[in-house]
Amino acid sequence: MSGKFITFEGVEGSGKTTQIALLADYFKSLGHDVVLTKEPGGTKIGAKLRALILDPETKLSAQNTEVLLFYADRLEHVETVIKPALAAGEIVLCDRYIDSTTAYQIGGRGVNPDIINTLNTLINLMPTQTILLDISPTEGLTRAKSRGQLDRFEQEAIEFHERLRTQYLKTAAENPDRITVISVSGKSIEAVFEDILKIISI
Ligand code: T5A
């Protein structure tokens, strides 16, 4: 595959969506072909799965149902959007990917890592580069709350969000060549974007 696959990760309200849009515009201004996408919800069926997964009314009884819903979304997304774009030499910018599953489902929910490792063999694609925007869950959730109704994950207890932040930082420490952590606490949107431009490589 000749394109570049860059993912953005972080706790709720860390600013991923804001920054990834700025980066997409920046790359386009330089004349690059860019695909801006997200998980869950990067395909037509994924949009339906996203609505189901994030709906606070959705009650899942078995622990692994949630994981399987994310992987149904991911498999469709990777096969129909990400891999074709990379094969065409494009830059793919994705708002959340496998590191979100590691953080939320393994770190947050306590899912067995072996299950995720097995599901990852279906996907068989890791990002070229990952930006982890790090902020305390309290600060991030304050931003998320200011936007209105909270989704199924945002409504989880603060301990859940603390666990997944810890898992994110552990994943980053284990993958220093791929993942760069940018501390965004108290920084303006512009200051965070400057930090991203310093470390992004295409
Ligand atoms: N999930 C996802 C899993 O559990 N497992 C998985 O495998 C995957 C793929 C998806 C949910 O699904 C979970 C994780 C999530 O809970 P989502 O909407 O994609 O949901 O993710 P969220 O993190 O909820 O997205 P948000 O839009 O809430 O957060 P962002 O994208 O990090 O933040 P952003 O850019 O939208 O900014 C939030 C607010 O803060 C402001 C923005 O203007 C906005 O109002 N803001 C700033 N304010 C001050 N200073 C800054 N520097 C700011 N940057 C942004």
Each residue's pLDDT tens digit, 187-200: 999 999 999 999 99
How far apart CA 153 and CA 104 sit, in angstroms, is 9
User: Residue 1: pLDDT band by 50, 70, 90 thresholds?
Assistant: low
Which atom belonging to ligand 1 lies closest to the Cα atom of 154?
Answer: 16
Whole-number Å distance, alpha carbon 30 to ligand 1 midpoint, is 26
At 143, the amino acid letter reads R
pLDDT at 192: 98
User: What value, to the nearest 5°, has the Cα angle with vertex 10 and ends 46 and 3?
Assistant: 60
pLDDT, tens digit (0-9, with 9 covering 90-100), for 110-159: 999 999 999 999 999 999 999 999 999 999 999 988 888 899 999 999 99
For the chain, what percent of residues have pLDDT higher than 70?
100
Which atom belonging to ligand 1 lies closest to the Cα atom of 10?
Answer: 32
Which atom belonging to ligand 1 lies closest to the Cα atom of 153?
Answer: 16
Which atom belonging to ligand 1 lies closest to the Cα atom of 73?
Answer: 9
Q: Which protein residue's CA is at the shortest distance from atom 33 of ligand 1?
A: 15
pLDDT, tens digit (0-9, with 9 covering 90-100), for 60-79: 999 899 999 999 999 999 99
Model pTM greater than 0.95?
yes
pLDDT at 148: 83
Q: Which of 8, 11, 17 to mutate to test the pocket of ligand 1 (most atoms within 8 A of CB)?
A: 17
- Residue bearing the bigger pLDDT, 190 or 201: 190
pLDDT, tens digit (0-9, with 9 covering 90-100), for 148-166: 889 999 999 999 999 999 9
Backbone angles phi, psi at 134, to 5 degrees: -105, 130
What's the average model confidence in pLDDT over 2-15? Answer: 96
Instruction: Return all residues near 71 (Cβ < 8 A) that are at least 6 apart.
Output: 101, 119, 122, 123
What's the average model confidence in pLDDT over 94-119? Answer: 98
Whole-number Å distance, alpha carbon 12 to ligand 1 midpoint, is 5
- Dihedral sign computed on CA atoms, order 48, 50, 56, 59: positive
pLDDT at 13: 95
For the chain, what percent of residues have pLDDT higher than 90?
95
Could you give the domains of the chain? 4-199 (3.40.50.300)
Q: Across the chain, what does the average pLDDT equal?
A: 96
What's the average model confidence in pLDDT over 45-68? Answer: 96
How far apart CA 78 and CA 157 sit, in angstroms, is 31
Report which of 170, 114, 132, 160 is spatially closest to residue 8, judged by C-alpha positions. 132
Whether a cis peptide bond, with omega within 30° of 0, leads into 40 is yes
